[in-house]
Structure formats: structure tokens, C-alpha cells
Structure 1
Amino acid sequence: MELSAATPITPMLAKAVDVVPEPDGVPGGLSYEPKWDGFRAIVYADGETVEISSRGSTMLTRYFPELVDAFSRLLPQPCVLDGEIVVRTANAGGERLDWEALSQRIHPAASRIRTLSQQTPASFVAFDLLSQGDESLLDRPFGQRRAALETLVAGLPAPLHLTQTTTDVGLARRWLVEFEGAGLDGVVAKRLDAAYSPGKRVMLKVKHHRTADVVVRGYRVHTSGRGVGSILLGLYDAEGELRNVGGASAFSDARRLELVDELEPFVLRDEAGEIVVAETERNRFSSGKDVSYVPLRPSLVAEVRYDQMEGSRFRHTAQFFRWRPDREPRSCTFEQLELPAAYDLTRVLV
């Protein structure tokens, strides 16, 4: 298969598992690496031009001119790389990944893109090599692709980096705990004898999972117009203000309809008995979207599963677990959240 930006390849994906898997019994063994929290990207460098494709085959090239320049200058030969675009920022514990700064890089204005490329420059972490020169490596086992990637990329200066790997499951489990403090998302396991399978979930990923008791602030109607599409979640801060921390969704058709009845006693209504409709704050991602929701009295507590925090919000959509009628809403504060120990990102990047 000839790989080019004209017909972008779909990245190989991972399926979620609960624990870092043991290599015992796996043909060829397993290789473990950090799971980076950034934009998955396939880089096509043919020696003259550079194109960067997203996981969904959308071209990201124009948004990261500093990476295009780095690939053009630093890559020693034509190749196709699989990896992650990240943005690094400093904090009290050293450096860590900054998802918010990375998300701001997708902007329609060329002038803003140029400014951000200087203010919050991106880095690229390579973790697979799909072609080298004019030879496709897709059918080669990962162990061989990784060795070729090390020869190609190892020693190149920032902003290009090579992800760490290990075959030591104990070390991988330590990474799962320690690297979260630098903003990483978990650990990925890959079979050393596996070919590259575009679009297939043949890798394994382990992410952080925690629970929190939250106040249900309201709900959005499903896009079908029937039932609850998502519930809005809140936690009380140190000043006693109920802060928005994100939402929970992914309900079945039947559950969406059940939730309407369950939430009905808590719906805020005006003096005429009509449902009060509110709107969440708009941002550049919600432009043109319906941000209205049905507010609820802050009386209902739910337990949700989440992976990590991004500032004062859940990084990803939370998963509803169960109601907590035994919890007082005012007891649902940020203090309950487990915060990872700070870890310097420079100790993760190589």
C-alpha cells in the first residue's frame, strides 16, 4: 500500500481494558508505552512537502506551521509517522501537557495561528513508523517498526520526540500512576509481532478511572427531541458556589425517557408553572449549537465515573453510575477529588 496525504490512512486504534495486561501467553510479547493526551496525527513527509492528518483524516497542517518546519528540517528521509501532537506548559511541578492550550490551536484565522505557534508551540511525539523511503512498513511486526523508528528519530532535537517503551509490565504499571502527574492519559500495550491494522482496535489501552459524587444542575433534551440527552454536573467550591464541572451522557433510548420522569420533581419552574430554560456559556466549540438546558433544583446527587480533571472540569464526558440519595448536595465539593502527584513532563519525553 502506497501511503500519501492524498489518500490518508486511518490510524490503528486501541480498545479499553481495566488493568495493564500481563505479557504472559501473548505471542511475541507486549510492548508498553505512555498514552499521550493530545491530537493523534499521521505525518506524511515526502522530502519536499509535509502534511499532517488527524485521526479522522482531517488535515491539520495549517494549524501547526512550527511542526511543518521542524519535520522539513529534521527528518533525514521521506517517511510516514504515527504519533501525537501535544503542547507543553510549565507549572509548579515542572512541565506538563496542556490540553486547553492545544485545543486553542485549531483556529480559523491565519494571523492567530501564527501567534499561537510562537506563544504555545506544539511538540510531536512519535510512536510508530508506517513507511520509510518508498517502502511501506504496515505488514512488518511492531518490533521491527519500532526499531526502524528509533534509528530514524532517536537523537533528533525538539520539537520532535520518541515515546518511551518498555517490555517490563511492572514499570508500565508505575508509569500509569506517575505519568498522570505530567498530564498523560494512561498506558498503551502493543503486541510486538502485530502488523499495523488501520482503523482496527488491536492495541490495548488502560486509562485512569475514578468516581465522584456530584450535584445534578440540569439536563439537556436529546437531539431527537425525546428524553434526556445529557445531565449537567456541578461541585461546590470553597466559597460555597456551585461550579459547572461537565456532563454525563451515553444513555440508552429507554433510559433517556426514564430520566425525564426521575428528574421531573426537581425541575425549576416560574410562577406560571412553566419550565425555566437556561443556557450554558458559549465557547468556540459550541458556536451554532443549542446550549439551552432545563435547570434543576440542586437537590439531587449522582455518582459518576471520570478519568481526569482539566482545570476545574472533567477532562472527558463522565459516565453516570448511580443516584446517591444518602449524600447531601452541599457535601459534593472539589475536596473529594483525587489529584495526581505532580510529575515533570521532561522526565517522560526523550
Structure 2
Amino acid sequence: MLNTPIKPMLLQPATIIPTTDNYIHQIKFDGIRTILHYDRGSIKIYTRHKNVITLQFPEMKNLRLPVQNCILDGELICFDTSDGTPKPSFDDIMIRFQATNQIKIEELVKQIPAHFAAFDVLYLNGSVEVSKPLGERLSLLEEIVTNNEYISICQSYSDGNVLFDKIVDLGLEGIVSKHKDKRYHLDSRPIDVFYKIKNYQYDIVAISAIRKQKFGWVMSKDNRYMGMLEFVSPVEREAFYKIYKQLIIKEDKEYIHLDPVIKCKVKYQCLSKKGYMRSASLEKFII
């Protein structure tokens, strides 16, 4: 298991926050889900898709843990402090993730340092820990990790609704609710174990173009580009394609440009630093 890529347990999406005492609640950080392997001071970092990204995050080599070896589940994040309150920035962590030039990587370490928020331990000193209940695994994690500039333990809260309200106020991604008595299931999305409750945003946009090579509708608002709408049900696609030809203004190699008279309500995760809607999905057409 150690130094071998593994697929982590995934979260069940939910809209209702569990309120029973056997659940704890944590901030859902907007970063890269990461499995960190520590072996006598040596670090290997894998994404949940089993890709090695150790070279992109050389600052993680500074980690020193009071164990021989362990595997930690967590989130690699970069903080944006431009508005005074540090907030996870998906744009920044993707800049770090996509960097391949070693000189550029070293520059980025100084400009936008990464941080590992640990929320679970899967392996410790030669022993696989996934069969233990979450409460025991969190106790082990507290023995392993001392918070510093490179790593910290994701804090747990007892009241999920209070935490979610705070997340909404801060404009963060959402929360995760976890059953304290449940084991960890590798490469699975089990029911009644971990839930994610996202702080989705909603807005009205116009459809101003159709992308040709890969499905996507260009969203605009007040004549401003707002991103690409890629999550649309087959029924709604069919309804749109019955009428779009009447709205064509012009075409080029990449797009069919439309008169932006068709409006729709969309759900999205957050705005990028450029103001684009991230992971937008169509809720309904506005008639």
C-alpha cells in the first residue's frame, strides 16, 4: 500500500446536513484531493486519479512527521489573501498543478505556496488503518500532525448547520459531514459514510454561442463572457436545438454565434478570478 497509488473514498452529494451526534462536520476545501505518502522523510503525492504530482509541490518535502511511515488523505490548497481573509483559491492551485518547468515551479513555491489539509489517515507504521472507525483514525491523525505552514489537520465541528452558515457568509465551497463510527472504503462512494453539501451559487445568463468541437454553450451576462455551460440534460439540449437555428448571427471555426435572447437559470460552484462561472449546470430555461 505504501508508495503505491490508491484511489480514495469519494463523497456522496447531499442537500440536507446530518444533525445526529454521530456526525462531525468539516470545511470542504476547494483544492486538489490528494493522497500523501510519507516514508522515513520521503514524500510521494498522488491525486485521486493516481497521478504523481510530487514534483509540482517541492515544498512538501519539508514535512517531518513523528512516524516511520504513513498515508494521509487530504486536500492540497493555495490561499488567496487579496481581500484580507485567506480563502482557498482553485485558480491558484491549478496554476501550481499545471506547472512543469522546474524553474517556474520554484518561482511559484514562493509566490503561491501550497498547503496540505489532512483529514484522514489510511496507513500508519506498517499497519493499514482503513477498517477502524473515523473517530479512531482522527485520534491517530492528531498524534501524527502538528499544524505548520506545510500541513494542518482539517478542524472538525459538531454543528453542521452553524458551520454551513459560516461557509455561506465567507463564500467558501461547502462542508463535508462524516459519520464518526464508519470505516474507510477505498475506491468507493458508499452511502451513509461521508456527505458533501456544497454552497452552490445561482444566476441568470444568456446563451450567446455554441461551441462546435466539444459540447458547450457560451454564457453571457450584460454582454460579458461568463464561461462555458457544459452540464445540460439531454431533454434540455433537444429543446434548445429545435430553435437555435433561428438565432444564428454568424459562424467561425470554433463557434456558432447566437442572438443572446434565450435566458436560463444556472447553478455554479464559484466565480474564477476572471469572473467566470465554474462547473455551471443548467437549472431551467427562463421563458
TM-score by length of 1: 0.76
Counterpart in 2 of 1:316? 278
Alignment partner of 1:298 is 2:279: no
Counterpart in 2 of 1:285? none
1:146-157 equivalence runs, <5 A: 146-153=138-145, 155-157=146-148
SS at match of 1:309: coil
Alignment partner of 1:232 is 2:213: no
Give CA-to-partner distance per residue, 1:108-152, whole Å, 9 cap, x none.
211111111111110110000111111110111111000110111
Q: C-alpha displacement at 1:199, in angstroms?
A: 1.9
**Conserved? CA contact 2:37–2:70, under 8 Å:** yes
Alignment partner of 1:122 is 2:114: yes
Q: Distance in 2 between matches of 1:136 and 1:183?
A: 37
- Structure 2 letter corresponding to 1:296: L
Show structure 1 runs of 5+ residues with no match. Answer: 224-228, 237-241, 270-275, 279-291, 326-350
1:1-350 equivalence runs, <5 A: 3-6=1-4, 8-23=5-20, 29-67=22-60, 69-71=61-63, 74-77=64-67, 78-105=69-96, 106-153=98-145, 155-166=146-157, 168-169=158-159, 172-180=160-168, 182=170, 184-202=172-190, 203-221=194-212, 223=214, 229-236=215-222, 242-253=223-234, 255-269=236-250, 276-277=251-252, 292-325=254-287
Q: Distance in 1 between matches of 2:112 and 2:201?
A: 30
Q: C-alpha displacement at 1:247, in angstroms?
A: 2.1
**Conserved? CA contact 1:97–1:183, under 8 Å:** no
Q: C-alpha displacement at 1:79, in angstroms?
A: 0.8
The root-mean-square deviation of aligned C-alpha atoms, in Å, is: 1.9
SS at match of 2:243: helix
TM-score by length of 2: 0.91
SS at match of 1:93: coil
Q: C-alpha displacement at 1:183, in angstroms?
A: 5.6
Q: C-alpha displacement at 1:198, in angstroms?
A: 1.1
**Conserved? CA contact 2:225–2:276, under 8 Å:** no
- Structure 2 letter corresponding to 1:306: Y
Q: Distance in 2 between matches of 1:5 and 1:315?
A: 37
Show structure 2 runs of 5+ residues with no match. Answer: none
Q: C-alpha displacement at 1:313, in angstroms?
A: 3.3
Instruction: Give the share of equivalent positions with the same residue, in percent.
Output: 24
Q: Distance in 2 between matches of 1:315 and 1:197?
A: 32
**Conserved? CA contact 1:246–1:317, under 8 Å:** no
Q: Which has the larger radius of gyration?
A: 1
Q: C-alpha displacement at 1:201, in angstroms?
A: 1.7
Counterpart in 2 of 1:340? none
